[in-house]
């Protein structure tokens, strides 16, 4: 059995991670770390665990967790993981970080977008960006895996085949994405209170969202370029899910059917990427699952391609992908413990 510990287990992503790991046939959850709820029963914080576990939340001591764990998951705000992870820790256990500290390879870009110092720059070269469909071989050998952001997962998977095959003007890319309110975390924030976000849709952090350089970094790998894109996120009044519409100018004469065949070939071996054919993705068909659904349209009048991607932000966008990374890292069947069929209606 793989012994797993979670630091930050009482946030939305951390709770989802524990829910998945408790059902995973190859995993034993040994420690739940929490800054805010140390000493409390996990089932007192999340009533859905009542009678199912006796786990107590503990003060997060990564040194102790590393001694007794095969893998430690970090589900923390940015700025904390880079202080905690050391070479000594990585000699004892694998780390899968659901936060942002090791996603960007350039420390200066990280510090510009996150307005905080990076405290462990030497490990940036070693950290593997854990988008499983694109970096599987590196993940297999990694000690430190940086789980991608939710918006980035959906956007990169939606656009990667176009850039790999040089079909679009990369500088024309516009990503218009919508997320449910769990993407903002479990803290008390006025903007995501029910009475503030219900019956409203709003754009936020236009031109300055921190997932922007992450999307650019990964997509630039396909052509060795340094293009810039426009990413605009929106908050919508639902609990979970992301829908990303990606627009770009075509540079090749290609039909919709040819484009669909190209996407089928690109993702032919990827269980968790589903191409929706003539139907366009909806968040209700991925909610509660680790799937990323992708649909395609071409607007011949403007010569633009529109790619629609949908994921559950807490699963494929966070906890499910973290477990997918763990499965790859420990040479398990990639689907183990995360082969959920979407709950519907929910």
- Give residue for tokens 């694998």: 94
Q: In what order do the strands lie in the sheet with 202-203?
A: 202-203, 230-235, 174-179, 242-249, 304-311, 292-299, 273-275
Which segments of 24-90 are extended strands (E)? 27-33, 57-58, 71-74
| CB contact at 8 A, 60 and 54 | no
Could you give the CA distance from residue 36 to residue 33 in angstroms, rounded to a whole number? 9
Does residue 292 carry a catalytic annotation?
no
Classify each residue of 297-321 as buried b or exposed e, where b means 16 or more C-beta atoms within 10 Å of its C-beta: ebeeeeebbbbbbbbbbbbbbbbbb
- Which of 251, 243, 255 has the alpha carbon at shortest distance from 227? 251
Residue 254 tokens read as: 């290609």
Count CB-CB contacts under 10 A for residue 150.
29
Helical spans, DSSP H, in 255-342? 256-266, 320-329
Cβ atoms 316, 342 nearer than 8 A: no
Active-site position among 57, 132, 150, 197: 150
79: its two tokens = 């700025």
Q: Distances in Å between the alpha carbon of 188 and those of 10, 100, 204?
A: 14, 21, 18
The rounded Cα 24 to chain-centroid distance in angstroms is: 19
Measured between alpha carbons, how far is 31 from 65 in angstroms, rounded to an integer? Answer: 7
Host H or E run for residue 91 = helix 87-92
Residues with active-site annotation: 150
């Amino acid at each position: 059995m793989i012994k797993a510990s979670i630091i930050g287990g009482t946030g939305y992503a951390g709770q989802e991670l524990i829910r998945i790991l408790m059902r995973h046939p190859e995993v034993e959850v040994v420690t739940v770390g929490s800054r805010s709820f140390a000493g409390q029963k996990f089932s007192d914080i999340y009533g859905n665990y009542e009678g199912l576990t006796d786990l107590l939340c503990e003060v997060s001591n990564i040194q102790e967790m590393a001694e007794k764990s095969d893998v430690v998951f970090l589900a923390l705000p940015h700025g904390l993981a880079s202080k905690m992870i050391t070479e000594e820790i990585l000699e004892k256990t694998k780390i899968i970080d659901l936060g942002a500290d090791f996603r960007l390879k350039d420390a200066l870009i990280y510090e510009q977008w996150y307005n905080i110092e990076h405290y462990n720059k030497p490990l940036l070269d070693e950290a593997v960006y854990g988008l499983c469909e694109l970096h599987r071989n590196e993940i297999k050998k990694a000690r430190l895996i940086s789980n991608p952001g939710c918006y980035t997962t959906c956007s990169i998977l939606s656009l990667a085949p176009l850039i790999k095959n040089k079909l679009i003007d990369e500088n024309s890319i516009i990503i218009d994405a919508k997320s449910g309110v769990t993407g903002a975390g479990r803290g008390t924030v006025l903007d995501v209170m029910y009475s503030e976000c219900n019956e409203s849709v709003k754009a936020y952090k236009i031109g300055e969202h921190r997932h922007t350089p992450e999307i650019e970094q990964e997509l630039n790998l396909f052509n060795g370029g340094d293009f810039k894109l426009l990413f605009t996120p929106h908050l919508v009044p639902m609990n979970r899910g992301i829908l990303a519409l990606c627009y770009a100018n075509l540079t090749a004469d290609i039909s919709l059917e040819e484009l669909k065949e190209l996407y089928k070939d690109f993702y032919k071996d990827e269980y968790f990427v589903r191409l929706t054919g003539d139907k366009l993705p909806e968040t209700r068909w991925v909610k509660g699952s680790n799937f990323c659904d992708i649909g395609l349209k071409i607007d011949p009048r403007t010569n633009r391609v529109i790619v629609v991607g949908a994921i559950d932000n807490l699963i494929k966008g966070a906890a499910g992908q973290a477990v997918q990374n763990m499965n790859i890292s420990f040479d398990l069947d990639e689907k183990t413990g995360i082969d959920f069929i979407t709950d519907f209606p929910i």
